[in-house]
Amino acid sequence: MAEVRFLNVVKRFSTKSGDVLAVDQVNLEVADGEFLVLLGPSGCGKTTTLRMVAGLETATSGDIFIGSRRVNDLAPGERDIAFVFQFYALYPHLSVRDNIAFPLRAQRISREEVDKRVQDVAQRLKIEHILKRRPNRLPSGEQQRVALGRAMVRQPQVFLMDEPLTNLDASLRADMRVELKHLQHELGTTMLYVTHDQTEAMSMSHRIAVMNLGVLQQVGTPLEIYNHPQTLFVALFIGSPPMNMMTCTLSEGRHLQAKVGNLRLTLSSTHRLLSQEREQNVAFGVRSEDVHIQSADRASDVMGTVLVREPLGDETIYQVDVGGESALLVKALPREVFQPGERVGLTIDPERIHLFEAATGKSLLAAAEKAG
Amino acid sequence: MLRRILFWLALALVIFYFAFPLYWIVISSFKTIADVTRATPAMLPFVDFQQTLANYSSILLGTNIESETGVQAAASLGEFRERLLNSVIISGISTALAVGMGTLAAYAFSRFRIPGEGDLLFFILSTRMLPPVVVLIPIFLFFSNLGLRDSYLGLIILYTSANVPFVVWMMKGFFDEIPLEYEEAAMVDGYSRIEAVWKIVIPEAIPAMAATAVFSAIVAWNEFVLSNLLNRNYASTVPPYLNSIVGVGQVEWGRLAAAAVLFVIPIIVFTFLVRNHLLRGVTFGAVRR
């Protein structure tokens, strides 16, 4: 077991059309035994970051530590890690048993020990019945298990997984999420897991590191990331449906006020702005579940007209036109029924709003004030 | 129904077109001189003509062939056997070398970033654009000065260098198809790159190597011009020998056919030995894209 640390890690690829900065000054510590997910859209540098830990890419600058060892100059095989690839990379000419035993054979371990460990892993992953088969004929769920087995069998310091569930169908993916989380908990091995799927990230990880364009945006527990996004990117990337985002102007009376189209909202006194400058153009965000829809005759922050109603069973999502640049998405309980075209009132929980500097995308609200 | 009949008819025509020459050579090799030169060709053994092993025994054992028109001089004893062995040695070694070296080069082209890769690949291919006959005289002089005429080494060098470009191009295509993740997985699992190539990539590439080897072997096996020019006295191969049977005056069709049959057998056997790999073809791996 070991922790993984990144110190100012930079990766630059040189291509014919010039240099591409894939990973920009990443500083990150993954605790021993932690399940950390690197989350971001494709091309954000998350896989490159993972591959640098494995030694499949070399960092342009900066240091990577596994435990107390600086691993930048070690060959992949010397880093005591296991890597699960998106496409599994099971060796087609070897049986499942030999695939799993393959990493052990590199270590000159006795035949009995190899057999025993392969057997243990197979038992744990419930793949004993396919040990003699070739991997390419197996269904993808079983291929996935074989790939996991090959990673587990050498009892590495760190698991590195690159979108391992992408190729499974939806129901199997949900099962494997639970199983992987359980497995990691049982083994207690440090896990670095790359995905673009926020459900995977939210449901499995201890902490999430969100990346965009090679830059680490925010690191935190799933709920921290969800409730207190520190950048505009994180706010928009996490959550389904995506956060409502509009431009607003801030004005100061007795309390700070945000003006968004027809909506004038007095900010809660607990909100303190990070920046002293009063910006005219600020991104105002609120999640659909923090906007409440009600009939037009009740006191509301803003009036609007229902455009679309999407009943999802456990909840209903309304698109409400409030005369602003875009319609607001509102999550409501299924028993609250409003028809398209109907005038409705909306109230917004002022504790739950988000303000971002339009130019930098950074949160304007002090993190300390919003803890919890 | 009609479609089925037409299909089988077309198939039969195609098979006849390709197989009949072979059949003709084979039956001719079992004919006596009288039968092989008959104006109305004899088609069916046991029915149209009495088959004989005289042609084969003449070629392999050096016996004379007697007929109504007189005695045909025997081939010099053992010459065919010796040349067949030479052909096997020269084609075998040059094929192994070409496939070995070409595979390694192709791996490098496929996996590493090589400055001027496109130009280099084109350069390698361009060596095949010149017909060998054009450089016949330079090669002759060159080999004479280096003492490479009448040697195994000379033809092995020539056939190897003729086949390497083909192998590089074929194998590069195959390696490009083998996902990089295989080697990466093996390297993470504690193996060096060389070990990863040896344990994972080469086993995956064997069908491709077999297919490439068949084509290379056929080229070396059938080569006539260079062999005829360079190796007249020592380490001579079979193709010029076939030409020599044609001889002066009367063509000895029976013996020519027998020699031709014996000459194609090894390459057919080789192709059959690797046929499973050939059929396994280019469908690689459990890695899904």
Domains of chain B, CATH where assigned: 80-246+268-283 (1.10.3720.10)
- Is the Cβ pair A88, B179 closer than 8 Å? no
* CB atoms inside a 10 Å sphere around CB A29: 14
The answer to whether residue B286 scores a pLDDT higher than 60 is no
The answer to whether residue B197 scores a pLDDT higher than 50 is yes
- Is the Cβ pair B182, A89 closer than 8 Å? yes
Q: Is the peptide bond before A241 cis (omega within 30 degrees of 0)?
A: yes
Tokens 């088969």, residue?
A133
Q: In this complex, which of A77, A87, A134 lies closest to B189 when CB atoms are compared?
A: A77
The encoded tokens of residue A129 equal: 């019945």
Q: Is B188 at the interface with chain A, CB within 8 A? A: yes
* CB atoms inside a 10 Å sphere around CB B80: 25
Q: Which of A311, A309, A307, A267 is nearest to A286 (CA)?
A: A267
Q: Is B185 at the interface with chain A, CB within 8 A? A: yes
- Sorting pLDDT into bands at 50, 70 and 90, what band is B285? very low
Contacts of B182 in chain A (CB under 8 A): 89, 91
- Is the Cβ pair B188, A81 closer than 8 Å? yes
Separation in Å, CA of A201 to nearest CA in chain B: 24
Do the beta carbons of residue A150 and residue A85 sit within 8 Å?
A: no
- Is the Cβ pair A89, B181 closer than 8 Å? yes
Tokens 């992949």, residue?
A76
- Sorting pLDDT into bands at 50, 70 and 90, what band is B68? low
User: CA angle at residue B73 from B67 to B74, to 5 degrees?
Assistant: 100
Q: Which of A11, A44, A8 is nearest to A211 (CA)?
A: A44
Do the beta carbons of residue A351 and residue A287 sit within 8 Å?
A: no
Per-residue H/E/C for chain A: CCCEEEEEEEEEEEECCEEEEEEEEEEEEECCCCEEEEECCCCCCHHHHHHHHHCCCCCCEEEEEECCEECCCCCHHHCCEEEECCCCCCCCCCCHHHHHHHHHHCCCCCHHHHHHHHHHHHHHHCCHHHCCCCHHHCCHHHHHHHHHHHHHCCCCCEEEEECCCCCCCHHHHHHHHHHHHHHHHHHCCEEEEEECCHHHHHHHCCEEEEEECCEEEEEECHHHHHHCCCEHHHHHHCCCCCCEEEEEEEEECCCEEEEECCEEEECCCCCCECCCCCCCCEEEEECHHHEEEEECCCCCCEEEEEEEEEECCCCEEEEEECCCCCCEEEEECCCCCCCCCCEEEEEECHHHEEEEECCCCEECECCHHHCC
Name every residue whose Cβ is closer than 8 Å to that of residue A280 and which is 6 or more positions away in sequence: A249, A250
Separation in Å, CA of A318 to nearest CA in chain B: 39
The answer to whether residue B52 scores a pLDDT higher than 90 is no
- Sorting pLDDT into bands at 50, 70 and 90, what band is A368? very low
- Is the Cβ pair A77, B181 closer than 8 Å? no
Contacts of A149 in chain B (CB under 8 A): none
Q: Locate the chain A residue with the closest alpha carbon to B179.
A: A89
Which whole-number Å values give the CA distances from A161 to A44, A155, A174, A324, A361, in the listed order? Answer: 16, 15, 17, 43, 30
Separation in Å, CA of A152 to nearest CA in chain B: 11
User: Which of A7-16, A17-26, A29-38, B224-233 has the highest mean predicted lDDT (pLDDT)?
Assistant: A29-38
Structural domains of chain A, with CATH? 4-236 (3.40.50.300), 242-371 (2.40.50.140)
**What percentage of chain B carries pLDDT values higher than 90?**
47
Q: In this complex, which of A55, A89, A143 lies closest to B185 when CB atoms are compared?
A: A89
Look over chain A and give the mean of its residue pLDDT values, rounded to a whole number.
88
| Of the candidate ranges A92-96, A162-166, A199-203, A252-256, the one whose mean pLDDT is the lowest | A252-256
| Of the candidate ranges A36-40, A84-88, A262-266, A356-360, the one whose mean pLDDT is the lowest | A262-266
Q: Is B3 at the interface with chain A, CB within 8 A? A: no
User: Residue B131 has what pLDDT?
Assistant: 83
Region B32-52: mean pLDDT is: 82
Q: Is B200 at the interface with chain A, CB within 8 A? A: yes
The answer to whether residue B229 scores a pLDDT higher than 70 is yes
| A112-142 tens-digit pLDDT | 999 999 999 999 888 999 999 999 889 988 9
Q: In this complex, which of A77, A78, A87 lies closest to B287 when CB atoms are compared?
A: A87
Contacts of A76 in chain B (CB under 8 A): 184, 187-188
| A150-189 tens-digit pLDDT | 999 989 999 999 999 988 888 888 888 998 999 999 999 9
Q: Locate the chain A residue with the closest alpha carbon to B289.
A: A87
Separation in Å, CA of B175 to nearest CA in chain A: 15
Tell me, what DSSP letter sits at residue B236?
Answer: -
User: Residue B146 has what pLDDT?
Assistant: 94
Q: In this complex, which of A106, A134, A135 lies closest to B189 when CB atoms are compared?
A: A106
ipTM score assigned to the predicted complex: 0.82
Question: What are residue B147's phi and psi, to 5 degrees?
Answer: 70, 30
The answer to whether residue A25 scores a pLDDT higher than 60 is yes
- Is the Cβ pair B188, A83 closer than 8 Å? yes
